[in-house]
Amino acid sequence: MKRTLFTATAMMTMIAAQPALAGEAKRSTFGAMPDGRPVAAVTLSNGKGVSATIIALGASIQAVTMPDRNGKVEDVQIGYDRIDGYLTKPEFFGATVGRVANRIAKGRFTLDGKSYSTPVNNGPNSLHGGTKGFDKVLWEVTDVKSGPTASVTMRYVSPDGDMGYPGELTTYATYSLDEANHLTIEYRATTDKPTVVNLSNHAYWNLAGVGSPRGAMGHVVTIPADRYTPTDATSIPTGGHKSVAGTVFDFRQPHVVGDRVRDASDPQIEYGRGYDHNWVIGDRVTPDQHLMARVVEPVSGRGFELWSNQPGLQFYSGNFFDGTIKGKKDQILRMGDAIVMEPQLFPDAPNQKDFPSVRLAPGQTYRNVMTYRLFVES
């Protein structure tokens, strides 16, 4: 039998030729809950200088770091440096929102002929699951993986009657980061009796970097939607779709957010004090992902494409930051300092028969998968 002898140099060449498993998932603790329970944190990182830190309170994105065109790495997620802010002044920063994301008119809905109510916490309406939605509970870390795709999975079991919603709902949130700089969030949920479910993530992006005086109003946004769902003065959809053509809601071609966000000639902008609306990307949940939005911060070159399997995109332009919140780096947050892009089903869907259904039955699996394809323009 012929043997091949390897020199040390040849061996090192072979090792170098093999792809490195650069992805790492590192566990830590991000403070504690008021009752003393530790809040787990997992930081996902890759070999491209990108990282994402996920905390178990609200299964939330606490930080995302990425380089600009000159290689300078900054955190691009608005939030808090310490657990105290998330506990004392929660603003859905990076959080998983549900059991039903967005608004339910007057906190009431009917399912299979039975009426239900959930706490009102946004004017006359219920927002993001009520007064104690999924963003305010401690999730359990069930799996952490390093490798080419680093990931963390968290679970929350919402009991029957939680915030007025029927059925015990078991939800898994998986965050993953790969070497292509794709940050993916996948939500899956099952129930033991018919219920309503609409989960999303409420990440606040400032691609200029946390603390940047540029804020997010210079971000250039593209949304491939020819319709949106207009609302009443309390941000509840009026029931129909409206063409974006000729309006400030037309982002089919790239537009700077700040160019039209204060155009009060459109009453829709006046209602929301800016953009806080649902764009109609499709009419149903799809098996595969499709493009929801593209966002670029032209000075740094940082950007992302957002892909999801959901039919709706809620675009919020940070209209209600009023200088009373102090975020990371002791930055006082003001109107327009960040934007939010939430792939989801439509607002008030439990009460809107012509909207895609949010009903989930036993034996079915709810799934919302979204991917931020991070990039840097040269």
DSSP lists the bridge partners of residue 338 as none
> String of b and e for 283-309 (b: at least 16 CB within 10 Å)?
eebeeebeebbbbbbeebbbbbbbbbb
Residue 271: burial class (beta carbons within 10 Å; 0-12, 13-18, 19+): middle
DSSP lists the bridge partners of residue 114 as 111
**Helical H runs in 204-290?**
257-260, 267-272
Nearby residues of 46 by Cβ (< 8 Å), 6 or more positions away:
22, 23, 24, 150, 177, 178, 179, 181
Q: Is 342 a catalytic residue?
A: yes
Q: Measure the CA–CA gap between 359 and 341, rounded to whole angstroms.
A: 23
Q: What is the DSSP letter of 70?
A: T
Nearest residue to 156 (alpha-carbon basis) of 138, 176, 174: 138
Q: Is 219 a catalytic residue?
A: no
> String of b and e for 145-161 (b: at least 16 CB within 10 Å)?
beeebbbbbbbbebeee
Catalytic residue, from 74, 91, 182, 202: name it: 202
Q: Which residues are catalytic?
A: 202, 342
